[in-house]
Amino acid sequence: MRTFRRPHVLLAALLASGCTTPIDIGDKSASIYAAAARPVGGLQGCRLNVAKFSDSRLDPSTIGRLNARVVHGPADPQAWVKHALAALEQKGIALSFAEQNGASAPDDLSVSISLQTMWVASVTTAKTGAVVIDAAYQRNGVPVKAAHYRGAESDPNWFDSADEVQGMIDSAMDQVLSQMSADLAVLCRQSVRS
């Protein structure tokens, strides 16, 4: 029987093979935005109907790499965005979705959302990621605002773990929601005055 004389080579090969397994992002955003104690004035009673969702990314299945590991985006990007948008309800917005027969009353805001970018990358011992969403708001079929929201996060890259990446992407989405809330507060007040 032959013995393996170079255990360090075997160990390196085993470690390297484990580091190339893909990282998968879940369909549910673990948004901290909803729970954060950041009240946004003007959102109570605001009604928002998400009329349309599109994913404009070139490759929706892959959002980047962390070192040698490919990072896959959510299997259902629309479900991920919807789950994140649900955090707006905690701020006082009555949210509905057109595909769930969410009826839009006169003077309600409607929005078409396009996921433009969701990416991650590693730089030495750090990881960085971003989420970019375009939103086109309408009231009674008339465009009232087009917005480009961007959230970005950079953190130490401790373990290349799915939880770390999920948290980073969710934090970037929280920034998008914060920007969106600020715009909605203004748009909702305009509705009350009209």
> H or E element: which one contains 149?
strand 142-156
| Domain ranges for the chain | 43-193
Tens-binned pLDDT, residue by residue, of the chain (194 aa): 555 565 555 444 444 444 578 888 877 665 555 544 455 666 777 899 999 999 999 998 999 999 889 999 999 999 899 989 988 888 888 899 987 665 567 788 999 999 999 999 998 889 999 999 999 999 999 999 999 999 999 999 888 888 889 889 989 999 999 999 999 999 988 865 55
> H or E element: which one contains 63?
strand 62-66
43-193 is classed in which CATH architecture?
Answer: 3-Layer(aba) Sandwich (3.40)
pLDDT at 42: 65
pLDDT at 38: 55
pLDDT at 87: 87
From residue 192, alpha-carbon distances to 39, 119, 162, 181 in Å are: 19, 38, 43, 16
pLDDT at 190: 82
pLDDT at 15: 45
pLDDT at 107: 83
Do residues 43 and 95 lie in contact, with contact meaning Cβ atoms separated by under 8 Å? Answer: no
pLDDT at 8: 52
Q: How far is CA 36 from the centre of its chain?
A: 17
**3-class secondary structure, 146:** strand
